[in-house]
Amino acid sequence: MSKKKELDMMSQFPNVSNEQVTLANWRTPPFNQWAFQHVREIVPSANIPNDASQIQNPYREDHDFSSMEIKLVGQRPLTYDEFLKKSGTDGLVILKNGKIIEERYFKGMKQDTPHILMSVSKSILGLLSGILIEQKIFTDNDKVCAILPELGSTAYKEATIRDLLDMRTGVAFVEDYLATSGLMIDYRKATNWNPLEGNESPSDLRSFYGLLDKKNHPDGQQFNYVSPNSDLLGWIIERSTGERFSDLLSDLLWKPLGAIMPSYITVDRLGAPRVAGGLCTTTIDLALVGQLFLDNGAANGQQILPESWLQDIQSNGSKEAWVNGNFIDYFPKMEMHYRSKWYVDYGPNTSSGDLIFGLGVHGQNLFINPEKRIIVAKFSSQSSPLDPNLIPLTCKWVRTIINEF
């Protein structure tokens, strides 16, 4: 498909079949370039309202990054713009001291366009969980089955909320984004992200957990990336509060944050939210979430997030669990931990992380550097779900931005 046709996708009425974005192709290139900015036209969703009376209006102080280069071993340096193209950038906002110093959009995206966060959604989930734990709705030591007794015969029988938050359950589930059969496909169909085949009966997210009845190792040990852990936490939140996740996120985070635009989240056929990956926001609003880390959890004169929760994310994850886990190869030579749905890179520090970030497939990123007070929010439509070259390159690009100041 030509570049022009990629940009014109979904602009014919009706579209020719090879240019039609569908539930079957929306996460594959080139269809994802359009789909990631129009998710609610493909998958059912629930709105997350903002509050028009509290909207933030960050100051702007443009910085010229045109001369910045990313140094590569055995290759010529990569320019700033070359990296943006190479990494399939759709939207980019960089904040420094709360001011917008860079804002760029590509592939038809605009400032007010909501884009899917993929697994950066998990990081937002981690923040909401901190608010609810502070409110004593539940504790991170609570057993999953104390809140959801119907899961007593599943692999989550002994797991705690902390195990879910830190991806340290022992549930047997292979997170294979290129799978064509098995539990991964069952999961996607249950979340409404894949079409049913033939005479298949409709599934749903909460029924899916009945299939997860095996464990590879005890809970609470190594990092084990399992997206259903996060959707399960979304269910726990709704059961514990008696409220919809979308309403809670709106009332406890999105409105007091001063989000510029409403957001939304995909839901299954029974309305269960895909909190592991279905949140869609504008680039600026994602950056404002990151700013909460730099402002000790406060925005618009309100304390939104517990400061102690943010400090815990930065300092209290297990390096041993990370080293023994199944994601370490994507972050070579990086000393890290994972805490409450956030990745933390120690960089030159030894006591706590100096680069906190959320990461989603196909190049979704939110980076926070407390020392230089820099936030980088980046949306993309990369071809590969998890590119083993682009992930460390993106981290290096962010480090290069930080070193500009």
324 touches 223 (CB < 8 A): yes
Reduced DSSP (H G I as helix, E B as strand, rest coil) percent helix, strand, coil of the chain, to 5: 35, 15, 50
The beta-strand segments (E) located in 80-170 are 89-96, 99-105, 115-116
364 touches 119 (CB < 8 A): yes
* Count of beta carbons in the 10 Å neighbourhood of residue 296: 13
220 touches 156 (CB < 8 A): no
**Residue carrying structure tokens 């926001």:** 281
pLDDT of res. 1: 46
- How is residue 282 annotated by DSSP? -
d(CA 223, CA 327): 8
d(CA 6, CA 383): 13
**Tens of pLDDT along the chain (405 residues)?**
444 445 567 777 778 878 899 999 999 999 999 999 999 999 999 999 999 999 999 999 999 999 999 999 888 999 999 999 999 999 999 999 999 999 999 999 999 999 999 999 999 999 999 999 999 999 999 999 999 999 999 999 999 999 999 999 999 999 999 999 999 999 999 999 999 998 899 999 999 999 999 999 999 999 999 999 999 999 999 999 999 999 999 999 999 999 999 999 999 999 999 999 999 999 999 999 999 999 999 999 999 999 999 999 999 999 999 999 999 999 999 999 999 999 999 987 667 789 999 999 999 999 999 999 999 999 999 999 999 999 999 999 999 999 999
375 touches 92 (CB < 8 A): no
**CATH number of the structural domain 44-139+245-402:** 3.40.710.10
List the chain domain ranges: 44-139+245-402
Is residue 287 classed exposed, middle or buried when 0-12, 13-18 and 19+ CB atoms within 10 A define those classes?
buried
pLDDT of res. 2: 47
d(CA 116, CA 188): 16
